[in-house]
């Protein structure tokens, strides 16, 4: 089974056969109930990034009302337009999904792995040196899907956003506690890091419909 867009969330899993509509994507892409306390900032951002962080840091994708989305979308666009410097070491850590902005045609993030879409689930991305792990809860933290792979930047000379990455998926598992059953998952995905500071991350899916994700650091 090949996963491309599951890896992006959020972003690096694309070109799927079944499109998740706007509401379904917002309500179902591993939105959840735990890990809602973001890590305190070491240095506060200012302006749009500061406001965006304060608005999303304790929220889940399933919690947003349509009346709130216009302001969040405007802040995301403003942050992305900064083409801010990319802190090379800043990506390492654990990031929780807080907001999903559908692509220009309303695309969300698609996936090939079926699982129940419960509002108490969370989704995380964990970045280390040259690796990334996506964790999608199925029944809260007790049951989860983990997708792992190599991570490489496509042009090391780029020092500002957007910063393009390739994820090479080579491992997957369905886990209950510490027991995991392997899943036959492989694939490749591209995504742009369009904003990054020590507490806030915005990424954009390139394989699918251009959806953006907003994440907050939890570790």
For residues 79 and 175, give the distance between their C-alpha atoms in angstroms, rounded to a whole number.
36
Bridge partners, residue 5, by sequence: 13
Q: Residue 109: what pLDDT?
A: 58
Q: Confidence band (pLDDT; 50, 70, 90) for 219?
A: very high
φ and ψ at 101, to 5 degrees? -105, 110
Q: Residue 155: what pLDDT?
A: 96
pLDDT of 167 higher than 90 = yes
- SS3 of 162, please? coil
Q: What is the mean pLDDT of the chain?
A: 80
Q: Residue 36: what pLDDT?
A: 46
Q: Residue 32: what pLDDT?
A: 33
Distances (CA, A) of 5 to 65, 109, 158: 25, 6, 24
Q: Residue 89: what pLDDT?
A: 92
Q: Residue 18: what pLDDT?
A: 30
pTM of the prediction? 0.77
**In CATH, what class is 6-217?**
mainly beta
Q: CB–CB of 168/148 below 8 Å?
A: no
Q: Residue 35: what pLDDT?
A: 37
Which range among 36-40, 152-156, 170-174 shows the weakest confidence by mean pLDDT? 36-40
Q: Residue 40: what pLDDT?
A: 44
Between 165 and 32, whose confidence is greater? 165
Q: CB–CB of 121/30 below 8 Å?
A: yes
Instruction: Say how many CA atoms lie within 13 Å of 141 toward its Cβ.
Output: 4
Residues near 103 by beta carbon (within 8 Å), at least 6 away in sequence: 205, 208, 209, 210, 211, 212
pLDDT in tens, 57-91: 999 888 899 999 999 999 999 999 999 999 989 99
Q: Residue 30: what pLDDT?
A: 33
């Amino acid at each position: 089974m090949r996963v491309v867009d599951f890896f992006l969330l959020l972003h690096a899993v694309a070109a799927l056969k079944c499109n998740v509509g706007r509401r379904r994507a917002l309500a179902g892409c591993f939105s959840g109930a735990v890990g809602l306390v973001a890590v305190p900032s070491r240095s506060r951002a200012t302006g749009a990034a500061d406001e965006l962080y304060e608005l999303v840091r304790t929220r889940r994708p399933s919690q947003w009302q349509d009346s709130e989305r216009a302001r969040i979308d405007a802040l995301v666009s403003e942050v992305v337009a900064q083409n801010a410097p990319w802190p090379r070491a800043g990506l390492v850590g654990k990031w929780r999904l807080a907001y999903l902005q559908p692509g220009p045609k309303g695309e969300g993030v698609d996936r090939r792995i079926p699982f129940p879409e419960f509002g108490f689930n969370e989704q995380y991305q964990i970045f280390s040196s040259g690796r990334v792990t996506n964790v999608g809860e199925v029944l809260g933290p007790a049951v989860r899907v983990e997708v792992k792979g190599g991570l490489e930047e496509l042009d090391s000379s780029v020092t500002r956003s957007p910063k393009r990455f390739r994820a090479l998926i080579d491992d997957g598992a369905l886990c209950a506690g510490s027991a995991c059953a392997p899943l036959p998952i492989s694939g490749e995905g591209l995504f742009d890091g369009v904003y990054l500071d020590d507490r806030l991350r915005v990424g954009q899916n390139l394989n699918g419909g251009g959806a953006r994700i907003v994440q907050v650091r939890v570790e």
